[in-house]
Amino acid sequence: MSAHVRADRDVCIGAGNCVMTLGSVFDQDDDGVVVVLQPHPDGVDPELLQRAVVMCPAGAITVTTT
């Protein structure tokens, strides 16, 4: 099982909840828009990934597991 993380930069409103939840996977660029640092995060707690998804107020983050 490996997770694939995507973020929709067009809908991101820069609230930064994803960075607060998982700073190793998400960052914000100079404009405050989300950047995925690790599209395939290994060894990251899946519960925290899920938390980043549900806490994003804009619904910008998707995590698919294959």
| CA 39 vs CA 29, 35: distances in Å | 16, 10
The DSSP annotation for 17-37 comes to HHHHH-TTTEEE-TTS-EEES
Between 1 and 21, name the residue whose CB sits nearer to ligand SF4.
Answer: 21
Between 3 and 18, name the residue whose CB sits nearer to ligand SF4.
Answer: 18
Rule CB under 8 A: is residue 55 a binding residue for another protein? yes
Binding site partner of 60, from another protein, ligand SF4, none, Cβ cut-off 5-8 A by kind: ligand SF4
Q: How far is the CB of 43 from ligand SF4 (least distance, A)?
A: 21
| Helix H or strand E segment including 27 | strand 26-28
Q: How far is the CB of 13 from another protein (least distance, A)?
A: 5
